[in-house]
Chains A and B, each alone.
Chain A
Amino acid sequence: MEYLNHNLERLRRNAPELAEAVRHSLGGVLTIVPSREGSPSATHKGQWVHSAYDPKKEAGSWAEQQFQQWKADEVAVVLGVGLLYHVEALALSRSSDARMVVVVPDLSLLKDAMGARPLGPWADRIHWVTGTPEEMATQLTAQSSPLRFLTYGPAARLHVDVHERLQTSLSRMMARKTGGQLHVAVVGPIYGGSLPIARYVVSALNQLGHRVSWLDHHVHQGSYEAFGSYREERHRLMLQSRFADVLSLSTMAHLAEDPPDLVLAIAQAPLGLAVLQHLRKKKFLTAMWFVENYRHLTYWQQLAAGYDYWFVIQQGGCFDALKRAGAGHVHYLPMAADPTVHRPLTLTAAEQQEYGADVSFVGAGYANRRTLLPQWLSHEWTTKLWGNEWDGATALSGILQRDGARVDTDTCMKVFSATAVNLNLHSYSGTGMDPQPDFVNPRTFELAACGAFQLVDDRTLLPALFTSDEVESFRRTEDVPSLIRRWLTDAEGRRRHAEASRQRVLRDHTYGHRLQELLATVGLSQPDRIGSILRGDRLTVGLKERAASVPELLPLLNRFPAGQRVELKDLAADIRARASGRQLAREELLVLMMDSYRAETRDLV
Chain B
Amino acid sequence: MARQSPEGKRLLPWKPLRPNPMTRRTLLIQLARLGDLVQTIPAITALKEAHEDWAVDLLCPAHLENIGRVLPGISTVVRWDGPAWKQRALQAEKEFRPEYLVEADTDIRAVVKELYDCAFVLNQHPRAILAGALLARDSTGAISGGPLDQKLSPWATYVRSVASDKGDNRVHLADAFCGMCGVAPPKEMMPMQVLSAPLPLDLDAIRQSGGAWLGLLVGAGDPERVIPASVLVYLITACLNRLPHSRIVLFGSRHEQERAHWIQAELSPSLVGRVWDTTGRLSLTELAQALTRCQVVIGADTGPLHLAAAVGTKVIGWYFARARLHETGPYGTHHWVWQATGGEGYAQPVSIPHHWPIDETIALLSNDQVDSVPGWSLWESHRDRWGAYYVQAGQEAIAPLQREHVWKDLHFAVA
- List the interface of chain A (C-beta within 8 A of B): 283, 528-529, 532, 537-538, 543, 546-547, 549-550, 552-553, 566-569, 571, 576, 579-580, 582-584, 586-587, 589-598, 600-602
Contacts and interface: CB of A to CB of B under 8 A. Distances in A.
B125 to A, nearest CB: 8
Contact of B93 (A543, A550, A568, A596): A568
Contacts of B86: 597, 600-601
Contacts of A597: 82, 85-86, 88-89, 127
A590 B93 CA distance: 14
A549 to B, nearest CB: 5
Contacts of B82: 597
Which of under 10, 10 to 19, 20 to 34, or 35 or more describes the interface residues of B?
A: 20 to 34
A358 B213 CA distance: 99
B96 A538 contact: yes
Task: Please report whether the interface of chain B is mostly helix, strand, loop or mixed according to DSSP.
Answer: helix
B95 A589 contact: no
A550 B86 CA distance: 22
Contacts of B95: 528-529, 532, 537-538
Residue from B95, B100, B126 having most chain A Cβ neighbours under 10 A: B95
A531 to B, nearest CB: 10
A546 B127 contact: no
A594 B85 contact: yes
B101 interface: yes
Contacts of B88: 594, 597
Contacts of A528: 94-95
Given A283-B90, A600-B86, A586 B96 contact: no
8 contacts: A283-B93, A529-B95, A550-B98, A566-B96, A579-B146, A579-B148, A589-B134, A597-B89
A586 B16 contact: yes
Contacts of A576: 148
Contact of A591 (B17, B93, B101, B133): B101
Nearest to A550: B98
A584 B148 CA distance: 9
Interface of B: 3, 14, 16-17, 82, 85-86, 88-90, 92-102, 104-105, 126-127, 130-131, 133-134, 146-148
Given A583-B146, A597-B85, A598-B89, A549 B3 contact: yes
Given A553-B98, A571-B96, A595 B147 contact: no
Contacts of B17: 586
A406 to B, nearest CB: 44
A553 B96 CA distance: 12
B96 A593 contact: no
Contact of A550 (B90, B94, B102, B131): B102
Contacts of B126: 592, 596
Nearest to A582: B146
Nearest to B104: A590
A550 B14 contact: yes
Contacts of B127: 593, 596-597
Contact of A594 (B16, B89, B147, B148): B89
Residue from B82, B97, B99, B148 having most chain A Cβ neighbours under 10 A: B148
B96 A568 contact: yes
A550 B148 contact: no
A598 B98 contact: no
B252 to A, nearest CB: 27
A593 B94 contact: no
A595 B101 CA distance: 11
Contacts of A601: 86, 89-90, 93
Nearest to B126: A596
Given A586-B16, A586-B134, A589-B133, A547 B98 contact: yes
A593 B98 contact: no
Residue from B89, B96, B97, B146 having most chain A Cβ neighbours under 10 A: B96
Residue from A543, A571, A594, A602 having most chain B Cβ neighbours under 10 A: A594
Given A550-B14, A576-B148, A594 B94 contact: no
Contact of B92 (A532, A582, A589, A598): A598
Contacts of B92: 568, 594, 598
B97 A593 contact: no
Contact of B102 (A549, A580, A582): A549
Contacts of A598: 89-90, 92-93
A546 B130 contact: no
A567 B89 CA distance: 11
A257 to B, nearest CB: 15
Nearest to B89: A597
Contact of A590 (B94, B96, B134): B134
A579 B3 CA distance: 29
Contacts of A571: 96
Top 10 A-B residue pairs of the complex, sorted by shortest distance between their CB atoms: A597-B89, A579-B148, A547-B98, A598-B89, A550-B98, A568-B96, A568-B92, A593-B130, A589-B134, A597-B85
Given A568-B92, A594-B85, A597-B86, A586 B146 contact: no
A307 to B, nearest CB: 19
A584 B14 contact: no
B175 to A, nearest CB: 29
A592 B96 contact: no
Contact of A549 (B98, B100, B131, B147): B98
Contacts of A586: 16-17, 105, 134
Nearest to B134: A589
A593 B85 contact: yes
Contacts of B101: 550, 553, 587, 590-591, 594
Nearest to A261: B94
Given A283-B94, A600-B86, 18 more contacts: A529-B95, A537-B95, A543-B96, A547-B98, A549-B102, A550-B101, A552-B14, A567-B93, A569-B93, A580-B148, A584-B146, A584-B147, A586-B17, A587-B101, A589-B133, A590-B134, A594-B88, A598-B92
B4 to A, nearest CB: 8
A394 B266 CA distance: 77
Contacts of B16: 586
Nearest to A547: B98
B148 A593 contact: no
A397 B134 CA distance: 78
B146 A594 contact: no
B59 to A, nearest CB: 13
B14 to A, nearest CB: 6
Contacts of B85: 593-594, 597
A593 B104 contact: yes
Contacts of A582: 146
A592 to B, nearest CB: 6
Contacts of A549: 3, 98-99, 102
Nearest to A553: B98
Nearest to A575: B148
Contacts of A583: 146
Residue from B97, B102, B130 having most chain A Cβ neighbours under 10 A: B130
Nearest to A576: B148
B183 to A, nearest CB: 26
A584 B126 CA distance: 14
Contacts of B131: 593
A546 B90 contact: no
A554 B112 CA distance: 25
B93 A546 contact: no
